[in-house]
Structure 1
Amino acid sequence: MSTGWFYLAAMIGMYGVANLLQSMAAAKTTAHHTLDPALLVRLARHRTYLVGLLCQMLGFILAFLARRDLPLFLVQASMAAGLGVTAILGVLVLKWRLPPAEISLLVLLCLGIAALVISAQPHPSRDIGVTGEIALVVTLGLVAVLGLLAAKLHGAPGSVALGALAGMSFGAAAVASRPLANAHSVDAFITDPLLYILIAHSLVAQLLLGLAMQRGSTTAAVAAMDAACAIPPAIIGLMFLGDKVRPGLGWLAAVGFVATLASVIGMTFFAEPQHHHAIGRHRRPDQFVGTRRAPE
């Protein structure tokens, strides 16, 4: 049995906790309306954000290890299951109230992930080649430019747009990590350009996600991110990286992927805001409307 399954399960839990803690810190930080790296410094002043960032880093490492054997369509879609963990913890810890539509979508998400787990077949990755590396660098520049424009959006549209761009960059990092995870030595790992492409995409995505969480619903921001980082890597993995589906279960993989994607996209429409910011106004952390101040 592949160890990738263990890494996959642990990854889901880590990402769920990370989303919740980073959302709590973002709700207590003065809102930004530009793509300003200083936001990460402001967020880092909160212990909750630092713990959430640590959980996200652990989730990232676990996802990296899972991608060594498991196909991208499974690992990327399973990252969305962390959203379910976030929602459950939000209800238990922060007293979030989830609408019936969001609860139904979370159930659909779980069913979709289950179908993907059943249909996925572990298999090592192929090399991405120089052309693939260039494409990932171009994608990084495109995401950065679009991020500068999306950072000017307020409310739910800004949350969804920035979350989607964060997902694109996280997805590009995932594509880079799939062949990188098969490096046979430390020297090969450190000297591989994919490592630095992965780091650059991850930093840009982290900044975009921090901005997205300030602008409306946490679940909407994360759902948009998960949707955007699921489709391109899944297609690239199946077409170019040697990802495989168990014989005769292609239909189940397709149904599971569509169900997972439909659930996370649906959450961008039905999820209700857990916190709000008045863009450009400076408030003390306990003055934000619509949220109870959580202890750090």
Structure 2
Amino acid sequence: MYALGVVAQSVASRRADRGLGGLGLLARLARDRLYLLGFAGQLGGFALAFLARAGLPLYLVQAGSSCAVGLATLFGALVLGWRVRPVEVAVLVVMALGLVLLVASATPSTAHDLPPMAAVVLFGLPLAVMAAAQRRVGRPVPLAALAGLAFAVVAVTSRTIADEPVLGLPLNALAWVMVAAALVGQSYLALALGRGSATSTVATMDATTVVLTSVVGIAALGDRVAPGREWWVGLGVALVVSGVLLLGFADRFTRAPARVAG
């Protein structure tokens, strides 16, 4: 669902970006059916990831989500005529191997609760700065990295509240931080997709998110690893992140940007 959403959003963002800021671009894209289809895919992927975070460590859930960049490449090849090269197939195999290592080393656990007010300040202030600084960032790679930072906040906050009763979420301050982070991340992602390659944009974003959430999850949230398999996690994350980056930047430097009608 993430992969289908990224491909649809990429095409829609390229034809809509006319130098608008992130929120202005989102307002224009809200009237684009193709973008809304892609957003629905992103929303469905987020819902599934949110449910998974209730009992699984972030290093596994985020690594699994990041593999959407490989599926996006395959979908682009089948539907949009992207050329998939042998090196990309090899990279997809490496990513799959990394994901297998993470699955084999993950142990289900419930995350430690974060102090609500401290977490709101810790996450809210950087999000406010990011929202105010969107017009000052113009290049796709920094935009994608900042999108990854915002989505890392989404992952960390949702990991701590995913096991809470659904009806109580509107009263949880962290739930609103999660929503704000998702909006900021989505606006940065829209800008990055409009100005750069879809694959390299998602690669940069996902690599940022996977690394940050893996560290925070193990260090602060109590994400557990099967005894004796700690190095499996390190190797698995390294393989997934390396594969994501290689796939993204190989696409950036060797594939001509797709022409978009509009």
Q: TM-score, normalised by structure 1?
A: 0.82
Give the distance between the partners of 1:271 and 1:208, measured in 2 at CA: 20
Alignment identity in percent? Answer: 35
* Residue of structure 2 equivalent to 1:162: 143
SS at match of 1:69: coil
1:228 aligns to 2:203 (yes or no): no
Answer whether contact 2:67 2:244 (CA < 8 A) is retained: no
Q: d(CA) in 1 for partners of 2:226 and 2:40?
A: 34
Matches within 5 A, 1:85-234: 85-129=71-115, 130-150=117-137, 153=138, 158-184=139-165, 186-187=167-168, 189-234=169-214
Aligned counterpart, 2:12? 25
Alignment size in residue pairs: 260
- Equivalent AA in structure 2 for residue 249 of structure 1: R
CA-based RMSD of the aligned residues comes to: 2.0
- Looking at structure 2, the residues matched to 145 and 266 of structure 1 have their Cα atoms a distance apart, in angstroms, of 31
Q: Report whether the alignment pairs 1:42 with 2:42.
A: no
Shift of 1:85: 1.0
TM-aligned CA deviation for residue 145 of structure 1: 4.7
Answer yes or no: is 1:54 the counterpart of 2:32: no
**Greater helix fraction, Structure 1 or Structure 2:** 2
Task: Kindly state the Cα deviation for residue 149 of structure 1 after the two structures are TM-superposed.
Answer: 2.1
With structure 2 as the length reference, what TM-score do the two structures score?
0.92
Contact between 1:147 and 1:165, CA under 8 Å: does it hold in 2? no
Partner of 1:81: 67
Task: Specify the SS of the correspondent of 1:201.
Answer: helix
Q: Which amino acid in structure 1 is aligned with residue 57 of structure 2?
A: P
CA positional deviation for 1:245: 0.8
- The one-letter code matched in structure 2 to 1:199 is V
- Greater mean alpha carbon deviation, residues 228-237 or residues 58-67: 228-237
1:49 deviates by 0.8
Shift of residue 47, structure 1, vs aligned partner:
1.4
Structure 2 residue matching 1:256: 3-state secondary structure: helix
Instruction: Report the AA paired with residue 215 of structure 1.
Output: R
User: Any idea what the Cα deviations from partners look like across 1:231-267, whole Å, max 9, x if unmatched?
Assistant: 1111111111110111111111110001111122223
Aligned equivalent of 1:261 = 241
How has the CA–CA distance of structure 1 residues 291 and 98 changed in structure 2, closer, same or farther, with 3 Å as cutoff?
farther
Deviations 1:1-45 (A, max 9, x none): xxxxxxxxxxxxx1111111111212322432x524121122223
Partners of 2:33 and 2:190 lie apart in 1 by 15
Task: Provide the secondary structure at the position in 2 that maps to 1:28.
Answer: helix
**For the residues of structure 2 that align with 1:164 and 1:173, how far apart are their CA atoms?**
14
Cα deviation per residue 1:195-244 (whole Å; 9 max; x = unaligned)? 10000000011010010011121101000110111111111111111101
Question: 1:19·1:86 contact (CA, 8 Å) conserved in 2?
Answer: yes
Distance 1:30 1:251, change over 3 A: closer
Q: Distance in 2 between matches of 1:17 and 1:79?
A: 12
Q: Structure 2: which amino acid aligns with 1:291?
A: R
What one-letter code is carried by the residue in structure 2 that aligns with 1:164? Answer: A
For 2:28 and 2:166, locate their aligned partners in 1 and report how far apart those are by CA, in whole Å: 38
Counterpart Cα distance in 1 of 2:166 and 2:71: 35
List alignment gaps of at least 5 residues for structure 2.
none
